[in-house]
């Protein structure tokens, strides 16, 4: 068994596991850890627990310490500088006429590394920009291109439901979404209605598809011959949410009935 602790660095950000390394930690504690970007401050979202060693896919980095007031002050200081860094980078992007959209700037804890996230239609030759940024900020610079979904997550906004975007509020990772999910929920296959602000299929298509599948299993398939209180009929439509079926009688009339009121002919 191996002891791990779950740490997050951003709201709705990805969850990372670290070795507590003997540091006594509780939910909500701020901690300093070593990452690929150097020292960073995050907070504990999963308290230390034991997991099977076979579940650990790569060596765990250790929690260095609980974050001190000085660590949190430095984090706040560099967070405050990120807007200025983004504006300066935007000026240089315009100067070099680069077709890229800057999204965010992120310092690590001690300001030795500065990461700029951007979106673009294709590959960008930003070598000259990188040199200029390194000279300007006297830090190690990383320019990272992200896709449409990550762009929406960074910028945020409101979906057609009127609520803040799922990806910006609670989704820490993106799940695969398919057009089949929309079909199973009998949604209109209009791209404008089933796509998110990112232009991709809306993540919320995943939220209820399993419930739809479970509810559909309780309903007869379309075309099924059934016996109803008003006579023999064929199923022409189903409503998983209401748990009702619409049937066509031999008289060609249609009626909506609760699933408990119909019985398949094969069950007789």
Spatial separation of the C-alpha atoms in residues 205 and 178, rounded to whole Å: 8
pLDDT of residue 266: 66
pTM given for the model: 0.79
pLDDT of residue 58: 78
193-245: pLDDT as tens digits: 899 999 999 999 998 899 999 998 889 999 999 999 999 999 999 999 899 99
* Mean pLDDT on 160-166: 90
| Closest C-alpha to 167, from 206, 120, 209 | 206
| Closest C-alpha to 51, from 16, 17, 3 | 3
The domain segmentation of the chain, as residue ranges, is: 2-67, 73-146, 163-210, 225-267
Fold of 73-146: GMP Synthetase; Chain A, domain 3 (3.30.300)
Instruction: Inform me whether the pLDDT recorded for 11 exceeds 90.
Output: no
Distance of CA 108 to the CA centre of its chain: 23
The DSSP bridge pattern shows strands 113-119 and 140-145 to be parallel
60-87: pLDDT as tens digits: 899 999 999 999 999 999 999 999 999 9
Q: Strands, E, within 137-260: which ranges?
A: 140-145, 225-228, 231-239, 244-249, 254-258
Spatial separation of the C-alpha atoms in residues 60 and 2, rounded to whole Å: 10
The secondary structure of residue 187, as a DSSP letter, is -
pLDDT of residue 45: 94
Residue with tokens 């294709």: 122
pLDDT of residue 208: 87
pLDDT of residue 268: 45
| Per-position b or e across 16-43, b if 16+ CB within 10 A of its CB | bbbbbeebebeeebbbbbebebebbbbe
The pair of three-digit structure tokens given for residue 14, joined into one six-digit string: 């990805």
Sequence-separated (6 or more) residues with CB below 8 Å from residue 107: 78, 79, 81, 82, 85, 113, 114, 115, 139
89-148: pLDDT as tens digits: 999 999 999 999 999 999 999 999 999 999 999 999 999 999 999 999 999 999 999 999
Region of 144 please: left (phi>0), alpha (psi -120 to 50) or beta: beta
One of 2.60.120, 1.10.10, 3.10.450, 2.30.30 is the CATH number of 225-267, namely 2.30.30
Alpha-carbon separation of residue 39 from 36, 77, 107, 195, 242 (angstroms): 8, 15, 10, 37, 53
* Mean pLDDT on 10-16: 90
| Closest C-alpha to 258, from 246, 242, 244, 247 | 244
pLDDT of residue 140: 95
Which residue(s) pair with 238 in the sheet? 245
Question: Which H or E run contains 132?
Answer: helix 127-137
Residue with tokens 């890229």: 100
């Amino acid at each position: 068994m191996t002891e791990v602790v779950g740490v997050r660095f951003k709201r709705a950000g990805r969850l990372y596991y670290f070795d507590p390394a003997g540091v006594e930690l509780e939910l909500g504690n701020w901690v300093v850890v070593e990452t690929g970007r150097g020292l960073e401050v995050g907070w504990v979202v999963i308290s230390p627990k034991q997991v099977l060693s076979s579940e650990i896919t790569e060596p765990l980095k250790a929690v260095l310490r609980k974050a001190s007031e000085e660590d949190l002050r430095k984090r706040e200081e560099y967070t405050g500088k990120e807007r200025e860094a983004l504006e300066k980078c935007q000026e240089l992007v315009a100067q070099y006429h680069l077709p890229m959209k800057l999204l965010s700037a992120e310092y690590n804890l001690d300001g030795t590394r500065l990461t700029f996230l951007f979106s673009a239609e294709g590959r960008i030759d930003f070598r000259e920009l990188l040199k200029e940024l390194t000279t300007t900020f006297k830090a190690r610079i990383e320019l990272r291109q992200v896709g449409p979904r990550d762009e929406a997550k960074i910028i945020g906004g409101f979906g057609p439901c009127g609520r803040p975007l799922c990806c910006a509020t609670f989704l820490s990772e993106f799940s695969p979404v398919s057009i089949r999910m929309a079909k199973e929920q009998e949604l209109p296959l209009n791209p404008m209605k089933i796509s998110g602000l990112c232009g991709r299929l809306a993540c919320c298509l995943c939220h209820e598809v399993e419930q739809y599948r479970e509810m559909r299993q309780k309903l007869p398939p379309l075309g099924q011959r059934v016996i109803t209180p008003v006579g023999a009929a064929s199923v022409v439509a189903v409503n998983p949410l209401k748990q009702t079926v619409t049937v066509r009688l031999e008289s060609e009339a249609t009626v909506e009935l609760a699933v408990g009121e119909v019985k398949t002919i094969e069950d007789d």
